[in-house]
Amino acid sequence: MFFRILTAIACVAGIAGCTSYSGPAHNTDVVTLANGTQAYRVQCLGLLESSKTCMAEVKRICGDKPAMRISSVDHITSDLKSENNPREITFQCATPVAEQPVQPAPVVVAPVPVPAVAPAPAPVRHAPQRKITLQGDATFAVGSATLTPVATAKLDDFVAANQGVDIERMTIAGYTDSTGSAELNNRLSAARARSVQGYLATGGLRASKWDVEGYGSASPVAPNTTAIGRAKNRRVEIQVDGK
């Protein structure tokens, strides 16, 4: 009788409607909950029955679907003590959640290291070339102030070595051997010195002062008695002073 009273209270308080059917060892009700959904309520009230009987009926009703217990009422002894043996179970058969396919872990691609760009080496700056001598028949044609390719190659190196140098004074001195008249030698040596000056200036060399002179056969560096000595004396000396 006590359980029937509880059942009636449940139908009034939380269940909007009840439909009953019975088995040999239990009573099963199809009930409508207050939220409008349907559920089952199994009662196992016989003296020889237990919660196992109710659970067997729950399993039979739900089959392979998991049972979701909504409420349960424990068996009460004559002194109103609970036996931890539920004899009334209200439940729903939950729809099993379809197993989600296991997504493979994303493949993390390590970034390709960007090779460090080595800084460009600083340009090597050579020490300025202070002095150069154009000497011999390979630097000028015989009796001429025209520079040969050998002479211009040497002057190009000289210009490159002194680019950006603040030159205070550029001295260019032309010389000849002792053959020929003094007037001819002075004129030829000066023409060759001016030819060198023009080439250097065209190449980009700048000087605060240009000292360009022809000295003829003066100041020989070798004897004029041999062809080798005379070739050494035919020369143009270039001197850089200051920065």
Average pLDDT, the chain: 80
88 with 32, same domain: the answer is: yes
Q: What is the CATH number of the domain that holds 207?
A: 3.30.1330.60
Q: What is the pLDDT of residues 100-111, one digit of tens each?
A: 566 777 777 778
Q: Taking 70 as the threshold, does the pLDDT of residue 207 lie above it?
A: yes
Please spell the DSSP secondary structure of 59-89, one letter per residue.
HHHHTTSPEEEEEEEEEE-TTS-EEEEEEEE
Has residue 72 been placed in a domain?
A: yes
Q: Among the three residues 93, 123, 148, which one is the final residue of a domain in this structure?
A: 93
146 with 64, same domain: the answer is: no
Has residue 166 been placed in a domain?
A: yes
Has residue 102 been placed in a domain?
A: no
104-137 per-residue burial string, b: 16 or more CB within 10 A, e: under 16: eeeeeeeeeeeeeeeeeeeeeeeeeeeebbbbbe
56 with 138, same domain: the answer is: no
Q: What is the CATH number of the domain that holds 46?
A: 3.30.200
Angstrom distances, CA of residue 63 to CA of 84, 92, 95, 115: 25, 12, 11, 64
For residue 21, what are the domain limits?
2-93
Has residue 141 been placed in a domain?
A: yes
- Which tokens is 79 given? 């002194």
Pairing state between β 235-241 and 38-43: unpaired
* Domain count along the chain: 2
208 with 159, same domain: the answer is: yes
Q: What is the pLDDT of residues 183-192, one digit of tens each?
A: 999 999 999 9
Highest mean pLDDT among 2-11, 85-94, 224-233: 224-233
Has residue 36 been placed in a domain?
A: yes
Q: What is the pLDDT of residues 23-68, one digit of tens each?
A: 666 788 888 888 888 888 888 876 666 778 788 888 888 988 888 8
Q: Among the three residues 93, 123, 158, which one is the final residue of a domain in this structure?
A: 93
Has residue 24 been placed in a domain?
A: yes
- Greater confidence, 209 or 107? 209
Highest mean pLDDT among 84-93, 134-143, 226-235: 226-235
175 with 223, same domain: the answer is: yes
